[in-house]
Structure 1
Amino acid sequence: MKITYYGHSCVLVEAEGRSVIIDPFLSGNPASGIAPKDIHVDAVLLTHGHSDHFGDCIEIAKANECPIIAVFELAEYCRSQGVQTYGMNIGGSQSFDGFKVKYTLAFHSSSVSVGDTWVYAGEPGGILLTMGGRTFFHAGDTALFGDMRLIGEMNKIDAAALPIGDALTMGPEDALLAAKWLQAEKVLPVHYNTFSGIHQDGALFCERLSQEGIKGYPLKPGESFEI
């Protein structure tokens, strides 16, 4: 499994000829390093509806004629925009062609911006993605919560993407504990340095991970690692 980071919380995951993108906030993020038209995937996965995660999902899904997989209410909103969708919910899993998705808890909020209003977009979630015999956990936007320990006990997590920005999600201290509870072998810090108020030192966070025996990857947009 190859994991490529495209800024903020966006990752492209590839294995055995299949590829999916999670939270494709690209055109609105000057640090993404890639344009939506250059994304070629079999599915788009969303953790929740906020614009810095929803991003370019509609454009990418239409261009690739692929589904958007999301929690039910968010999937229905995407369907209303003229794309294929597959609605799921927290705790549920589903096998697709070449990969499996399971939604986990995430403690945050979720809504879609429509004009001057915000539309409820269902519960936020984390995503357990299994491809090519490996499992990648994208925590989405979340606070630290005790059931992360249970997620780690129930699943062999080869790598995890954890938010460290603080203010809107957990910060580095809580993310370090989350990494240990999840028993993740490798960790990609996400959701930091994109906006004011969420500035963090990703390299320092990864140094602290290494002290706990966990390999951290403070990637720049466009960089990858494999598991």
Structure 2
Amino acid sequence: MKVTFFSHSTCMLKVHEKYLLIDPFLSENPIFRNENVFKLFKKIDYILLTHAHYDHVCDVELLTRKYNNILVISNYEISNYFNKKGIKTCGINYGSFISFPFGKLKYIWAAHSSVFNDGTYGGNPGGFLLHTDEGNIYISGDTSVIYEMNLIPTFGKLKLSILPIGGKYTMDVEEAIIASDFLKSEKILGVHYDTFEDIRIDKEQAQKRFFKKGKELILLEKGKTICI
């Protein structure tokens, strides 16, 4: 399995030749100013949306017009919102695992908010627990640390957790360390930091704090990929 980090919370997972794009925030992202976002992707099969805030959904319509047969997977309200715009969606909610060609997916609790820019309610914010025969990944979405994270490793050991670390709107570094303890996760990909001034972090200090707890905090440059 390959994980490519673009910026903010936007990542691409490659699993069994299927490409899963998470929370696309590119065309309005200051880090991608004046760049052609279509050059970033050869293929997109699925888009996973954790919640409705613009910095997680702003490029859904742009990308689904460009790439054929994308399936958008999110909670019922977000899926219904985009389905009314003619986009192919799969609405889920907190509940069981659901099988897809790339593996099985479970929508997971998050402590945050969820509303579209036009004021439309975005349903319950969440994250995703992805189980595949190439390993299991937890994508938390925007959240504070919550005690329910203790339940996640009971479903299976994690190879990687993708956690926000920028603070203010989500967990900061210290809370992400606590979350990684709950998750029994030793390898963490940090997201949702440095995009804007109010979520800037000291990256070197953040990695040192994780290291002192016996964990690895991975901070990727734009467009870089790791294999897990």
TM-score, with structure 2 as normaliser: 0.92
Distance 1:130 1:223 in 2: 23
2:11 paired residue number = 11
Matched, 1:61 2:38: no
Partner of 1:134: 135
Q: Quote the residue 1:105 is aligned against.
A: 109
Q: Aligned pair in 2 of structure 1 residues 147, 4: CA closer, same or farther (>3 Å)? A: same
Aligned to 1:2: 2
Amino acid paired to 1:59: L
1:16 maps to amino acid:
H
Moved more, 29-38 or 180-189: 29-38
**Shift >6 Å, 4+ stretches:** none
Distance, in Å, in 2 between the alignment partners of 1:129 and 1:89 is 14
Q: Name stretches of at least 5 consecutive residues in structure 1 with no aligned partner.
A: none
Higher mean Cα deviation, 16-25 or 207-216? 207-216
Of 80, 93, 96, which aligns to 2:84?
80
Structure-2 separation of matches of 1:112 and 1:169: 18
Partner residue of 2:95 out of 91, 96, 103: 91
Q: How far did 1:52 drift? A: 0.4
**1:89-116 deviation per Cα after TM superposition (whole angstroms, max 9, x unaligned):** 01332111223211110000001112xx
> Within 1, Cα distance between the matches of 2:174 and 2:186?
18
How far did residue 31 of structure 1 move? Answer: 1.9
**Counterparts of 2:105 and 2:64 in 1: how far apart (Å)?**
17
1:184 aligns with 2:185: yes
Opposite residue 72 of structure 1, the aligned amino acid is: Y
> AA paired with 1:192?
Y
> Could you tell me how far 1:144 is from its partner in structure 2?
0.8
1:42-91 CA-partner distances (Å, limit 9, x unpaired): 10000000000112112222322211000000000011121100000013
Between the two proteins, the alignment pairs up a number of residues equal to 224
2:55 pairs, out of 48, 52, 55, with 52
- Name 1:26's counterpart in structure 2: 26
Letter of the structure 2 residue corresponding to residue 83 of structure 1: I
> TM-score normalised to the size of structure 1?
0.93
Q: Which amino acid aligns with 2:184?
A: Q
CA RMSD of aligned residues (A): 1.6
CA distance in 2, matches of 1:62, 1:88: 23
**Inter-CA distance 45–177: structure 2 relative to 1 (3 Å threshold):** same
Cα gap change, 1:92 to 1:203, in 2 (>3 Å): farther
Inter-partner Cα distance in structure 2 for 1:31 and 1:83: 27
Q: Is the 8 A contact 1:44 1:61 kept in 2?
A: no
Compared with structure 1, are the counterparts of its residues 35 and 160 closer, same or farther at alpha carbon in structure 2 (3 Å cutoff)? farther
State the shift of 1:35 in Å: 4.1
Where 2:151 maps in the other structure, the secondary structure is: helix
**% same residue:** 35
Q: Say whether the 8 Å CA contact 1:135–1:158 is kept in structure 2.
A: yes
